Amino acid sequence: MKCGGFRVSYRSDERMFDTRLPVIALVIFLVVFAFVPRFAGTYWLDVLNRIGIAVIGALGLNILVGFTGQISIGHAAFLAVGAYATAILELNAGLPFYLAIPLAALLTSAFGLVFGIPSLRLKGLYLAIATLAAHFITTYGIIHWERMTKGVLGLMVPPATIFGLPLDSDARIFYLIFALAVPAVLFTKNLFRTKVGRAFIAIRDRDVAASVMGVSLYRYKLLAFVISSFYAGVAGGLMAHHSRILFPDAFTLLVAIDYLAMVIIGGMGSILGSIFGAVFMTLLPEILKLTATSLTGIYPQAFGAIASARDIVFGLAVIFFLTFEPQGLARIWVRMRSYWTLWPYSY
Amino acid sequence: MSEHLVFMLQLVISGIAVGGVYSLMALGFVLIFKASSVVNFGPGELVLFGAYVSWATILQMKLPLLVAFPITLAVAVLLGIVIERGVLRPLIGEPIISVIMVTFGFASVIRGFLNLTWGSDTRPFPVLFSPEPFRVGAVAVSPVHLWSFLGVMLLLGAFSLFFRWSVTGMAMRATADNQQVAQSLGVSVKWIFALSWCIATGVSTLGGIILGSVRGGVDFSLAELGLKVFPVVILGGLDSVAGAIIGGVLIGVLENLSGGYLDPILGGGVKEVAPFVALVVILMLRPHGFFGKVEIERV
């Protein structure tokens, strides 16, 4: 039983996993996960796929907001750039998806670099407002660059094809999404064992102190925007292949707020938290839908009320977590775990 | 007058009228920010709330205007107290991202609640003024625009006097300046926080009523208008009442002019994005706006 850390070398201090148990659990989880499409129905596969995409997006935002402390309300714009860039690269340049998605992610990174420039002069609330403006300018561009994006008419995306096999069903795209989501989680976990990750955290905790210690704010703030938007680019590219049709309406400000809520509810500055947040925010409307379906017998209008019920529950959840559990679901998880590891002597 | 000049004047006049409403929303925003350093990211929902409640009291319950307006205002003030006590008080001293997020949170609750109660259809708003425009030279001015602008200016004037001369107004300015000093001089800072929220919701409600009658109907697109508050307050300075008033009118005129002149070239929607382009430019050049307090801070 593990009851504390006893580390005598830097190597053990920097290890990704403290004990062997999480590695084994992870492998078992992945193996089980690989068989999910065999027994899960289309509905739950679709939900899982959306969770996978949200995990990548939320990780990206958490790196920026939770780990580096740069507030961004423009994450939906990053997703949109990633999604549209993927689609346009495939449709107009005829690239296969395995080249289009990385290229689109790089493009989104370049976009994030520009987005991040205000962060060199502004912070906190002013940065939030600047990213808000950038969001509106980006969506305007997407709606009105009709030659490429088809504007509000919607852009059809062909299914991703690998070795002649079209990834056109939920089960097939599932493997693509999780083949990217799992490395994304591991990469993030690794990022915070490196110099770059520690520089991010130093900037979040006190920017002036970080710069005194030799962390170049200029470089690392922009790097945070670049990495964060790379994730968003990948998530956007997957969105393009998952929904197969892109509308500017899929990337409204509310989407950006949803992603911020994932980070807050899951836990700021926590990788596990990003996963929890993505699961929570994706399941919330589904659970409301299921509740509404079961309620239609007694309350026939239940189905029409889903959208507003979602808004209310979402808002209350955000307020609740910020007030009572600012470190989110990840903190609750840690507390539960330490309760059970010490059981029956927990306090 | 040449045709061109008439076109421009027309744009400027309707811009000033809409800008007056932006000034009102910005006033609410600035008051809250000055008193409690809270940034309200849901100003649109407050406007929406006011518009719906006044619609419900006037058209649904068929109350006479003189009864309906006080009731609407009272409900709005109550909302202000609930938000301040229930949502923001527990977050005093929390990082700024939490405060921003919590305002998104209650905005979402308000939106959901309104949608649940009154549905998302467009509701016709009572016609408070005659729709017949009158002419000044060759320029047509609709009475709604004129009255709303006069009303807004009257209100803003009253607020300036309130801040300048009344004890409460001075207490609010003192709190904004330095909370600790204000407290040691016997100002109840808690009360000032609550009061600033009440004024903000009240003012936003008036904005909602005016916008409703200018557009002839209320629906959820009013909420998106609320985000225009950010260009306004950045232009005027986050903590400047005068800045909010001037900024509102300027942004209203800017968006109308850019819409009128650039829409034919760029193909529509410029009106929605021009204020935000201005926002970015101002932020990069003069983050504290034109009338705001300069904060010297190393980033």
- A133 contacts on B by Cβ (under 8 Å): 230-231, 276-277, 279-280, 283
Of A126, A143, A322, the CB nearest to B91: A322
Which helix H or strand E contains B234, and what residues bound it? Answer: helix B229-236
Domain residue spans of chain A: 52-252
pLDDT tens-digit map of B251-287: 999 998 988 888 877 777 788 889 999 998 888 887 7
- Please give the CATH topology (third level) of the domain spanning B3-131+138-285: ABC transporter involved in vitamin B12 uptake, BtuC (1.10.3470)
Task: Give the nearest chain B residue to A308 (CA atoms).
Answer: B112
How large is the average pLDDT for residues B238-245?
A: 83
- Contact: A144, B113; criterion CB under 8 Å: no
- Report pLDDT for A22: 81
Q: What percent of chain A has pLDDT over 90?
A: 52
Per DSSP, the three-state class of B217 is strand
- B114 contacts on A by Cβ (under 8 Å): 308
pLDDT tens-digit map of A133-187: 999 999 999 988 888 888 778 888 888 778 778 877 888 889 999 999 999 999 9
Strands B123-124 and A245-246 turn out to be unpaired
pLDDT tens-digit map of A228-245: 999 999 999 999 999 889
Kindly report the nearest CA distance between residue B231 and chain A, in angstroms: 8
- Contact: A326, B98; criterion CB under 8 Å: yes
Distance CA A262, CA A273 (A): 8
Task: Give the nearest chain A residue to B116 (CA atoms).
Answer: A308
Neighbouring CB atoms inside 10 A of A22's CB total: 12
- Contact: A319, B96; criterion CB under 8 Å: no
- Calculate the CA B3 to chain-centre distance: 33
Domain residue spans of chain B: 3-131+138-285
Q: Are A73 and A138 in contact (CB under 8 A)?
A: no
Q: DSSP string covering B122-138, please?
A: PEEPP--S----EEETT
| ipTM above 0.85 for this complex | yes
- Report pLDDT for A59: 96
CB-side neighbour CA atoms (13 Å) of A8: 0
What six digits make up the tokens of B149? 């602008």
- Contact: A133, B269; criterion CB under 8 Å: no
Distance CA B250, CA B258 (A): 12
Cα–Cα–Cα angle for B179, B183, B188, rounded to 5 degrees: 105
Of B110, B266, B276, the CB nearest to A144: B266
